Structure 1
Amino acid sequence: MAFMLYTDKKMRNPANTRLTFNGVGNLDVVLYFGSSQSDEVLSPETDAQIILKPVNLIKKWQPNKYYDYGNIIEPSNPNGYIYQCITPGRTGSKEPRWWVDYISGVSGSAWFKVLGEAFRHTDIKISLTQAGLDSAVGGEGIELGDQLQGGRAIPIYMRVVNKSYSLRNDFTDACRGLATNSTITTTTNVYAD
């Protein structure tokens, strides 16, 4: 299976779906990091520690690119807002003028509307304890150790913050997520014929 985030301590349900948080304020969630395969070992490739950190997933507008309905982007020169494709199509060579209060712009055959202030990785706090979320800094990673053995779940407490206090939705195209630094997974058991 490899090391990943799970929604349960027994690591039976991968957390490969998006969190639904379209409200305002804070949402606290606990996920579990590990591998359900007890013979797998995770090690950092170059760093001293395995680090889990919030990351930006938002993509920048590109010329001559096809966008599907629901794709979320930000301008190539970010203005603090995110935009959703409402009419699928291929963009032209010229970037639209990005408005912040209504249907934002047309480029080629693709139309975009403003969703609101941009979601950022700094809107996510993570900690190894629930109490640690109060002092955690948004966007900073946590160290998980220099080697992790599969079969054991590590609770990851996460606080997602919507600072703009406006209803937003990145369900169709995630704008932020969690990722590890460069790691390698090995197997401890070698079976001979």
Structure 2
Amino acid sequence: MIKGLTALSLAVVIATGSTALHAQSTQATDEDTSEATQLEDQLSFGEEGPQIGQTYTAEVIGDWELQCIKTETDEDPCQMYQLMADTENQPIAEFSLFRLPEGGRAVAGATLVVPLESSLPQQVSIAIDGQAARRYPYAFCNTVGCYARIGLTAEDVAAYRAGNSATITIVPALAPDQQVQLELSLTGFTKTYEKVSIADQ
């Protein structure tokens, strides 16, 4: 009887001890996992770089992005870019600028993309710091929007460098008696312009 009780007690002790050890092991594992997760939250696993032909933002200077296209060469071609929003902070227009080779009247070129609902006959105008505005025709439209291709002289670029902001005015096709004005910030223009690539002919 004693032998049976001893065996039974031993079985209970072994079972209890095993359960306790399992519980401790499980608790320790959970704690280790939690600690590991907390440590991983502070780490970066990196991300793949841009692939050949992809556009990426190399740098942000002021309100401008230096956008580049990944190539097989050591130096990727870059342009300066700014996304403009309306009063409700909804993206509405894009402005990108690139430099041109010496020898021509234009030292830089810009592309302005506005919504499809813009009135083409009314064109688009740009005024720097409230100065006299210049009007530019639209070159074409596609599913993205309507495009104006703008040539900038050395005097134009100097005005952009010295300015605080430019007001871009477009006219809605469905409301030709109204105007929509967008602000193009010139903060960071000079430093970004110096890093822009010269476009190939």
TM range (shorter): under 0.3
Structure 1 length-normalised TM: 0.27
Q: Which has the higher helix share?
A: 2
Using the size of structure 2 for normalisation, the TM-score is: 0.26
> Which of the two has higher C-alpha Rg?
2
Greater strand proportion: 1
